[in-house]
Amino acid sequence: METSITERDTVTVVAIRGSVDSLNAEQLTTAFAVPIQAGRTRLVADFGAVTYTSSAGLRSLLATVKDCRRLGGDLRIAALQPQVERVLSISGFTSIIKIFSDCEGAVESFRAAT
Protein backbone atom coordinates (compact mmCIF):
# COMPACT_ATOMS: atom_id res chain seq x y z
CA MET A 1 0.00 0.00 0.00
CA GLU A 2 1.16 3.50 -0.84
CA THR A 3 -0.16 6.88 0.20
CA SER A 4 0.42 10.39 -1.07
CA ILE A 5 -0.77 13.71 0.28
CA THR A 6 -1.97 16.73 -1.68
CA GLU A 7 -3.09 20.01 -0.18
CA ARG A 8 -6.14 21.59 -1.78
CA ASP A 9 -6.56 24.95 -0.07
CA THR A 10 -7.98 24.05 3.38
CA VAL A 11 -8.51 20.39 2.46
CA THR A 12 -5.91 17.62 2.57
CA VAL A 13 -6.33 14.75 0.12
CA VAL A 14 -4.76 11.45 1.14
CA ALA A 15 -4.59 9.24 -1.94
CA ILE A 16 -4.24 5.54 -1.22
CA ARG A 17 -3.10 2.87 -3.65
CA GLY A 18 -3.29 -0.91 -3.26
CA SER A 19 -4.76 -3.12 -0.55
CA VAL A 20 -5.42 -2.07 3.03
CA ASP A 21 -5.21 -5.07 5.34
CA SER A 22 -4.22 -6.22 8.81
CA LEU A 23 -0.53 -6.02 7.96
CA ASN A 24 -0.40 -2.44 6.66
CA ALA A 25 -3.42 -0.56 8.06
CA GLU A 26 -1.22 1.07 10.67
CA GLN A 27 0.62 2.83 7.82
CA LEU A 28 -2.70 4.31 6.73
CA THR A 29 -3.43 5.57 10.22
CA THR A 30 0.01 7.14 10.32
CA ALA A 31 -0.57 8.79 6.94
CA PHE A 32 -3.79 10.35 8.20
CA ALA A 33 -2.10 11.46 11.43
CA VAL A 34 0.47 13.62 9.62
CA PRO A 35 -1.95 16.36 8.46
CA ILE A 36 -4.05 16.08 11.64
CA GLN A 37 -1.01 16.75 13.81
CA ALA A 38 -0.27 19.77 11.61
CA GLY A 39 -3.74 21.12 12.37
CA ARG A 40 -5.27 20.12 9.08
CA THR A 41 -8.45 18.26 9.96
CA ARG A 42 -10.42 18.48 6.72
CA LEU A 43 -9.38 15.25 5.08
CA VAL A 44 -10.44 13.45 1.92
CA ALA A 45 -9.40 9.81 1.56
CA ASP A 46 -9.13 9.12 -2.16
CA PHE A 47 -9.93 5.40 -2.53
CA GLY A 48 -9.90 5.37 -6.32
CA ALA A 49 -6.89 3.04 -6.41
CA VAL A 50 -7.80 0.88 -3.41
CA THR A 51 -8.72 -2.63 -4.45
CA TYR A 52 -9.34 -4.21 -1.06
CA THR A 53 -9.87 -3.34 2.57
CA SER A 54 -10.44 -5.49 5.61
CA SER A 55 -11.66 -4.48 9.05
CA ALA A 56 -8.20 -3.16 9.82
CA GLY A 57 -8.73 -0.47 7.19
CA LEU A 58 -12.15 0.28 8.61
CA ARG A 59 -10.67 0.74 12.08
CA SER A 60 -8.16 3.18 10.65
CA LEU A 61 -10.97 5.16 9.04
CA LEU A 62 -13.03 5.10 12.23
CA ALA A 63 -10.18 6.34 14.41
CA THR A 64 -9.37 9.06 11.90
CA VAL A 65 -12.93 10.33 11.50
CA LYS A 66 -13.29 10.48 15.27
CA ASP A 67 -10.07 12.50 15.59
CA CYS A 68 -11.01 14.88 12.79
CA ARG A 69 -14.50 15.55 14.10
CA ARG A 70 -13.27 16.02 17.64
CA LEU A 71 -11.02 18.77 16.30
CA GLY A 72 -13.77 20.42 14.28
CA GLY A 73 -13.01 18.83 10.91
CA ASP A 74 -14.05 15.66 9.11
CA LEU A 75 -12.83 12.73 7.04
CA ARG A 76 -14.66 12.08 3.79
CA ILE A 77 -14.13 9.28 1.32
CA ALA A 78 -14.02 9.47 -2.45
CA ALA A 79 -14.12 7.09 -5.42
CA LEU A 80 -14.77 3.77 -3.75
CA GLN A 81 -14.29 0.67 -5.88
CA PRO A 82 -17.39 -1.61 -5.85
CA GLN A 83 -15.97 -4.35 -3.65
CA VAL A 84 -14.57 -1.87 -1.15
CA GLU A 85 -17.85 0.05 -1.10
CA ARG A 86 -19.67 -3.18 -0.37
CA VAL A 87 -17.44 -3.85 2.64
CA LEU A 88 -18.09 -0.34 3.98
CA SER A 89 -21.80 -0.77 3.40
CA ILE A 90 -21.98 -4.17 5.09
CA SER A 91 -20.18 -2.84 8.13
CA GLY A 92 -22.40 0.24 8.39
CA PHE A 93 -19.66 2.69 7.54
CA THR A 94 -21.59 4.30 4.71
CA SER A 95 -23.84 5.83 7.35
CA ILE A 96 -20.90 6.95 9.49
CA ILE A 97 -18.65 8.63 6.91
CA LYS A 98 -19.69 10.82 3.98
CA ILE A 99 -18.86 9.21 0.67
CA PHE A 100 -18.48 10.85 -2.73
CA SER A 101 -18.14 9.41 -6.20
CA ASP A 102 -15.03 11.42 -6.95
CA CYS A 103 -12.32 13.35 -5.20
CA GLU A 104 -13.41 16.71 -6.55
CA GLY A 105 -16.86 16.31 -5.10
CA ALA A 106 -15.46 15.39 -1.71
CA VAL A 107 -13.12 18.38 -1.67
CA GLU A 108 -15.91 20.67 -2.82
CA SER A 109 -18.20 19.45 -0.03
CA PHE A 110 -15.91 21.09 2.52
CA ARG A 111 -16.07 24.40 0.67
CA ALA A 112 -19.85 24.20 0.46
CA ALA A 113 -20.02 23.81 4.23
CA THR A 114 -18.11 27.03 4.91
Partner 1 sequence: MQKRNFDPPVRASCLAKPECLSSLLEMLDRYCIQNQVDSDCQHDLHLIAEEACFNIISYAYPVGAPGRLSLQVEARDCTDGPLIEITIEDDGIPFDPLALHLTDRTAPVEQIAAGGLGVLLVRRLSDLQQYMHDSERGNVLTIGKFISREKDS
Residue 52, interface with partner 1 (CB under 8 A)?
A: yes
Coil, strand or helix at 24 = coil
Give CA–CA dist 93/112, Å, rounded.
23
Coil, strand or helix at 42 = strand
Residue 90, interface with partner 1 (CB under 8 A)?
A: yes
Q: Which is nearer to partner 1, 10 or 91 (CB)?
A: 91
Q: Which is nearer to partner 1, 4 or 86 (CB)?
A: 86
Q: Which is nearer to partner 1, 46 or 74 (CB)?
A: 74
Residue 65, interface with partner 1 (CB under 8 A)?
A: yes
Among 6, 30, 55, 101, binds partner 1 (CB under 8 A): 55
**DSSP tally for the chain: helices H, then strands E:** 4, 5
Q: Which residues pair with 78 in a beta bridge?
A: 46, 100
**What DSSP element (H or E) covers 14?**
strand 11-20
* Type of residue at 55: S
Question: What is the contact surface with partner 1 in residues (CB under 8 A)?
Answer: 21-23, 52, 54-56, 58-59, 62-63, 65-66, 69-70, 83, 87, 90-93, 95-96
